[in-house]
Chain A
Amino acid sequence: MSAIAGSTAGSTGTDPGLRARLRDFSNRHRSITVIVGMAITAIALPLIVLLPPFSSFSGQNIWLDGFTIAGIYVLLALGLNIVVGLSGLLDLGYAAFFAIGAYTYAFAASPFTGNEFPFWPMLLVGALMAATFGILLGAPTLRLRGDYLAIVTLGFGEIVPIAILNSSKYTDGPNGIGGITPPSIGDFLFPTTGNPWPFYLTMLALITLSMILIYRLQDSRLGRAWMAIREDELAAAANGVNTVTTKLLAFALGASTAGLAGVFLASKLQTVTPNLFRFDVSFTVLAMVVLGGMGNIWGVAVGAFIIFMIQSVFLKQLNLFFDNVNVPILSDIDFLQYQFLLYGVALVAMMLLRPEGLFPSRRRRRELHTEEDAAFGELGDPMGAAPK
């Protein structure tokens, strides 16, 4: 719908021809916006880290490796955004689908099972597996009101690691599955270390793709139905939206994105253990979505990236800094340890003060200014002014 909004922003929408052209234009523009935005990111990030202060923390390769892992979280956040942000369902067991994706690839390409399936198709398979489980879980519970879903997913998120832990016969239990084959193009096997570019670029490609697809969903009748459910489920039903199927689709699509991320993680770490998918992953991703601005795709992506960087780089550097300068109290505080305290405070503050998130979507600000946002949105700068 935002496509329409963007297009009709200027005209009062009396001339269909014009509107049609405008929408086609903006639609094509949407995908291009994403691609251009991601391309800029892809080139900008490696350059930025060459400048101080970043360059002083660690070398470019390490930064890129970090970005790749951050990318996994961006993917997760994008997926969870479909469920939480667009459809307003609270999924607290999101890591479970992440795990399912990862183990799917672990089964598909590791000495543990002896299979050697190629990486690229497995991306799809992993996504499908996750979606299947999403349906299995969602179907019985989505008929009920939303907050039941929250608790059921929370339970599910607990069960999956437990199940993996305790069915050693099939998952090697706590040992996890090692020796997973990294992706390869032709004969070129992605290097485990040394050259982070292959993984880095693959991750960017995945993110770009998912963003484009998610945008298209958001602009479709399905996306409208999601938002309608988020706004008022009963009214949505009373307007012909089949709430159960619609919610289930959101759930499954969100799950599939997590599955995608899982497959990538498995191939990156070459080892998966249940410990990687504990509930704190789910909550971290939830925090990313909420802080990034629920429902705003660019916002969530940027939010996820920044938060991950904060937790994995900034807090560490903070510790080191205070250790060095020996500030009386601060040097004793271990900031890494209180990461979740920060999340907690952020979540509460965010809900009370700025529910639209750090990077509010245009929709939420539209009442303030329409015209220039329409134009601005089309430019879609990666700082989260969502191109609507």
Chain B
Amino acid sequence: MTTNALSARPTFVATFQRLRLGPYLFMVGFALVVYLIIGPEQFVNALTIGSIYALVAIGYTMVYGIIELINFAHGDVFMVGAFCSMYVLTTPLGQTGPVTDPPALAVILFIDFAVTMLVMGTLGTAIERFAYRPLRNAPRLAPLITAIGVSFILQNIIQIIYGPSPINTPQIIDPAARVVVGGLSIGVINIFIFVTAVTLMIGLQMFVSRTRLGRAMRSTAQDREAAQLMGVDINRTIAATFFIGSALAGAAGVVQGLYFGNIQFTLGFQAGLKAFTAAVLGGIGNITGAALGGFLIGFVEVTAAAQGYFVWAQAAVFAVLIITLVFRPSGLLGQQLGERT
């Protein structure tokens, strides 16, 4: 997934020019333009929704990077995460509305995130173990179809448990609470979401680049056989990848619940679609790219809404996807695909 990180070492300058700087400049420029078009308040909205997409997109990109599978079920893992978080907040923690006392809030949030991410990670690993691993050497189509099946199953299980209609989740961070930053009043929740997302991403980035497991992931992504020869436990590595990706999706689910205070079993489909677009946009297999892509999608969507073309927002997102695939299939940060198949 971070192939360019590896290859960056020898000719650093070249890589620096070729891959590193351009996209970021583009990103900054894009953000600037968007900011000028839609103004600060909408910009905050975009960043918030973008953070959620980014978190989900990372899961896609990691899984694709390591086993080249579009994990269609990932969007639904995110959805299940939202429901899991709701369960944790309501049933064991007995929350209903905003929590005002900061320490208590912190504790509750920590428990909520920890439990949800853990459960979702496990779920993701289980899915990989039972639905994908048996098909690792099957034709490409097989796991894709299984993934779709798994996504159906997750959706319907949730629907059976919680019914088809939308469910309220406790917004323990008071959605009305606002702080004034530089003359602009921003919702506390928005700030919280953005910060959480960025923290998680940085954490992940460090994990992947510093730890042993992270290195194992990168080498597996590069060349599974070679990694195996080097003594990397492929199954364990892939399982770990799924765990992390799904955990992040779970975190995104928590955030979703906190932000909108209302969740539904159909949540996963749309979110998953946009998140995958984000992953492709950023260069599939590249974590930073996925993050950037997520925010980009957020910008596109909110800009459309702000300009009064809300109904076209979806279409705009996919237009972006197709254009990317035509003109830069490798995405913002991805490296050129080796095989031209």
| A166 interfacial contact with B, CB 8 Å | yes
**Which residue of B149, B164, B321 is within 8 Å of A346 (Cβ)?**
B149
B277 to chain A, nearest CB (A): 7
Q: How far is the CA of A294 from the CA of B139 in the complex (A)?
A: 12
Closest beta carbon of chain A to B334's beta carbon, Å: 12
Which residue of the partner chain, among A151, A165, A166, contacts B277 with CB atoms under 8 Å? A151
Within 8 A of A (CB), among B66-84: 68-70
Listed residue (B140, B151, B157) with the most chain A CB atoms within 10 angstroms of its CB = B140
Q: Please, how many angstroms separate the alpha-carbon atoms of A72 and B150 in the complex?
A: 27
Given that A151-B280, A152-B322 are known contacts, is A159 also in contact with B315, CB under 8 Å in the complex? yes
Kindly state whether residue A298 has any CB partner on chain B within 8 Å: no
* A151 pairs with B150, CB closer than 8 A: no
B181 within 8 A of A: no
> Would A348 and B312 count as touching, CB distance under 8 A?
no
* Contact code string A308-345 (vs B, CB < 8 Å = 1, else 0): 00000000000000000000000000000110110111
Q: A84 CA to B140 CA in the complex, in Å?
A: 11
Residues of A within 8 A of B143 (CB): 351
If A237-B341, A338-B156, A351-B145 touch, whether A155 touches B318 (CB-CB below 8 Å) is yes
B314 at the interface (CB under 8 A from A): yes
**Knowing A141-B325, A151-B280 touch, does A347 contact B311 (C-beta < 8 A)?**
no
Q: Count chain B CB atoms within 10 A of each CB in A90, A154, A243, A355 and give the residue with the most.
A: A154
Contact A344 B318 (CB under 8 A): no
A224 / chain B contacts, CB cutoff of 8 Å: none
Cβ of A336 to closest chain B Cβ, rounded Å? 12
For residue B337, which residues in chain A have a CB less than 8 angstroms away from its CB?
Answer: 144-145
Q: How far is the CA of A344 from the CA of B156 in the complex (A)?
A: 9
The digit string for B302-335, where 1 denotes a CB below 8 A from any CB of A, is 0000000001101101110110011001000000
Residue of A nearest to B337 (CB): A145
Q: Chain A contacts of B85 at CB under 8 A?
A: none
Question: B88 on the interface (CB 8 Å rule)?
Answer: no
B318 contacts A156, C-beta separation under 8 Å: yes
**Interface of B (DSSP majority class):** helix
Closest to A231 in B: B139
In whole angstroms, what is the CA distance A337 to B273 when docked? 23
User: Smallest CB–CB gap between B159 and chain A, Å?
Assistant: 8
Return chain A residues, CB-CB under 8 Å to B317: 155
> Given A230, A231, A283, which contacts B148 in the complex, CB threshold below 8 Å?
A283
**On chain A, which size bracket covers the interface?**
35 or more
A40 sits at the interface (CB 8 A) = no
Please count the residue pairs between chain A and chain B whose beta carbons lie under 8 angstroms apart in the complex: 132
B134 touches A140 (CB 8 A): no
- For A145, list chain B residues within 8 Å (CB): 337, 339, 341
**Most chain A beta carbons < 10 A, residue from B69, B145, B276, B280:** B145
Q: B322 contacts A141, CB within 8 Å?
A: yes
Q: Could you tell me the distance in whole angstroms from the C-beta of A231 to the nearest C-beta in chain B?
A: 8
Partner of B70, one of A143, A147, A237, A347: A147
Q: Is B207 an interface residue, CB under 8 A from the partner?
A: no
Closest-by-CB residue of A relative to B139 is A88
Q: What string of 1s and 0s marks CB contacts (under 8 Å) between B155-176 and chain A?
A: 1110110001000000000000
Of A147, A152, A155, which is within 8 A of B144 by CB? A147
Q: Does B135 contact A (CB under 8 A)?
A: yes
Nearest CB in chain A: distance from B80 CB, A: 14
- B314 and A344 contact, CB distance less than 8 A: no
- Residue in chain A with minimal CB distance to B339: A234
User: Residue A163 at the B interface, CB < 8 A?
Assistant: yes
Evaluate contact between B273 and A148: CB separation under 8 angstroms: no
Does the CB pair A166–B311 fall under 8 Å?
A: yes
Residue of B nearest to A289 (CB): B145
Interface residues of A (CB under 8 A from B): 84, 88, 90, 92, 140-141, 143-148, 150-152, 154-156, 158-159, 162-163, 165-166, 230-231, 233-234, 237, 243, 279, 283, 286, 290, 294, 337-338, 340-341, 343-348, 350-352, 355
A-B pairs, top 8 by smallest CB distance, nearest first, are A344-B152, A347-B149, A341-B156, A155-B318, A348-B149, A344-B153, A140-B326, A344-B149
Between A and B, 8 residue pairs with Cβ closer than 8 Å are: A147-B144, A158-B318, A159-B314, A279-B269, A344-B155, A348-B131, A351-B142, A352-B146
B-side interface residues toward A, CB under 8 Å? Answer: 68-70, 131, 134-135, 138-146, 148-153, 155-157, 159-160, 164, 269, 273, 276-277, 280, 311-312, 314-315, 317-319, 321-322, 325-326, 329, 337, 339, 341
